[in-house]
Structure 1
Amino acid sequence: MPTIFLESRDNPKIKHLRGLIEQNSYRKKQAQTVLEGTHLCLSWLEKKRKINSIFTTERALEHEDFEKIAEYYQGVIFVLSETLYKDLSTLGTTLACLAIVDLPTSTQALNFTEDTLILENVQDPGNVGTLLRSAAAAGIEQIVCTKGSASLWSPRVLRAGMGAHFSLQTYENIVLEDILKQFKIPVYVTSSHESESLYSQNLRPQCVWILGNEGQGVSEFALRHAQAVSIPQPGGQESLNVAVAGSICFFEMVRQRL
């Protein structure tokens, strides 16, 4: 693989990379994002998607994962010093690899009759990425994010998603009031108020799951237009982490459909 060494923090390519890592507005303006780690890069390439450029270190370049990447990626690899790479990276323990890719654009209209996950103002990138990973594993392929949720294609959400994004149809900055009444299938929200047990629901038909903000839960609008379900907690905890709660719901659905 051809390589070029970059040493200066002021190099335009480094400035561009840093902007994509750190600024959501810059990612939107450039219509690009950054995949971090060889696992994400290989998952992306295996879906026959294009990588625009890759940044790594001299030490990491010798790793066998880069031999696998070379099977798909024919471009130049930019090699950075360990110090410069650590200054850019949001991880500290993964194999050095940062790849710039174009932001995918959804080519399909929202389908109001298929399994859907709606994230309403879910703000933590780790929670969002974990929910996408669980949804993909459960066979939910359509993800909707309302305004106020963490950006689906930020490096942190991508890292938590571990490649789940690449098999999903995603829609961002959606206004819940504009779409919710259009669904022709049951809609569920997780809530501890006026709710029925998750395990009393018939989840075999296609359905919609709405998961809300980590502190405040779902909106009043969502509660008025959906069936509220709760997860029994014999241990008496006040609430579950939203990613844990969502995963439990998805796999109860899977269990019933098997």
Structure 2
Amino acid sequence: MPAFFLDSKDNPKIKHLRALIEQNAYRKKNRQTVLEGTHLSLAWLEQKRSITSIFTTEAAYSHPDLEKIVSLYDGNVFVLSESLYKDLSTLGTSLACLAIVDLPTSREALNFAEDTLILDNIQDPGNVGTLLRSAAAAGIEQVVCTKGSASIWSPRVLRAGMGAHFSLNTYENVELEDILSKFTIPVYVTSSHQSESLYSKNLRKQCVWILGNEGQGASKYALEKAEAVAIPQPGGQESLNVAIAGSICFFEMVRQRL
């Protein structure tokens, strides 16, 4: 695979790459995002998806992990100076690999009778990515993000998700009011102020989980329309991190279904 050397931050390809990394609006406009690190790129390629272009460094170009990616890829490889790559990268110490990919479209319409995770105004990319990873591990295949939530396909959320995105149907910028009444299965919302325990619920059949904003918790609409549950905390903490709370709920569901 031929390599092309780029050494100017003003090169149009570098400007395009930087904008995809840094600007959500630019990602939406161009329908592209950036996978950072060899793990995500390999996971993407193993799903039979294509990469548009790869950026790396001279030191990383001959690494076995990068060679494996290049062997599965038929596009251009752009080699950057160490300083230029470091200026673009947000990971720091990982093997140099930035891959531009086209954003996938939802493979099918939202199914209102299947297990679903709804992220209602969850803003931290790490929390969103962790929840996607836990949901995928628990067998939940569709995830809805309301307006105000962190962009699912941002590089930071992709890193936290560790490839979970690639096995999920995802839907963004959805209004909760437009979909909640359409579900034909139980809908649960987590709330630290509710007395009904998660462990009192029968979770053996399909259900919906709503997780709310890190600081404000579940929205008023969600609390009105869904069945609120709490995770017992005998240690007396006010609340759990939303990604931890969601993961506990998903795997209580898994436990009951085994």
What's the TM-score bracket when you normalise by the shorter of the two chains?
Answer: over 0.9
Partner of 2:119: 119
Give the drift of 1:192: 1.9
Task: Determine the structure 2 residue equivalent to 1:239.
Answer: 239
Deviation at residue 193 of structure 1 after TM alignment: 2.2
Tell me the residue number matched to 2:208. 208
Per the alignment, residue 48 of structure 1 pairs with 48
TM-score by length of 1: 0.99
Q: Deviations along 1:105-144, whole A, 9 cap, x unmatched?
A: 1131110000000000000000000000000000000000
1:107-256 alignment to 2 at 5 Å?
Answer: 107-256=107-256
CA RMSD of aligned residues (A): 0.7
| Matched position secondary structure for 1:150 | coil
Stretches of 4+ aligned residues off by more than 3 angstroms: none
The answer to whether the 8 A contact 2:37-2:98 is kept is yes
1:195/1:227 contact within 8 Å kept? no
Aligned equivalents of 2:152 and 2:46: distance in 1?
A: 20
8 Å CA contact 2:190–2:211 kept in 1: the answer is yes
Q: Could you say what secondary structure the match of 2:157 adopts?
A: helix
Which runs of 5 or more structure 2 residues have no equivalent in the other structure? none
Instruction: Name the SS for the 1:170 alignment partner.
Output: strand
Q: Secondary structure at the match of 2:213?
A: coil
The CA distance in 1 between the partners of 2:142 and 2:5, in whole Å, is 41
Contact 1:2 1:75 in 2 (8 A): no
Alignment deviations for residues 78-101 of structure 1 (CA, whole Å, 9 cap, x no partner): 000110001001111211100000
Counterpart residue number, 1:2: 2
SS state of the match for residue 105, structure 1?
Answer: coil
Q: Tell me the number of residue pairs that the alignment of Structure 1 and Structure 2 aligns.
A: 258
The CA distance in 2 between the partners of 1:194 and 1:85, in whole Å, is: 49
Normalising by structure 2, what TM-score? 0.99
Give the secondary-structure state (helix, strand or coil) at the position aligned to 2:56: strand
Letter in 2 for 1:4: F
1:70 and 1:194 map into 2 onto residues whose CA distance is 52
1:77-92 equivalences in 2 (<5 Å): 77-92=77-92
Per-residue CA deviations over 1:143-185 (Å, capped at 9, x if unaligned) read: 0000000000000000000000000000000000000000000
- The DSSP-based 3-state class of the residue aligned with 1:101 is strand
Question: Aligned equivalents of 1:157 and 1:61: distance in 2?
Answer: 26
Is the contact made by 2:66 and 2:97 (CA closer than 8 Å) also made in structure 1? no
Q: Distance in 2 between matches of 1:3 and 1:21?
A: 22
Whether the 8 Å contact between 2:32 and 2:103 is mirrored in structure 1 is yes
Measure how far apart 1:44 and its partner are.
0.2
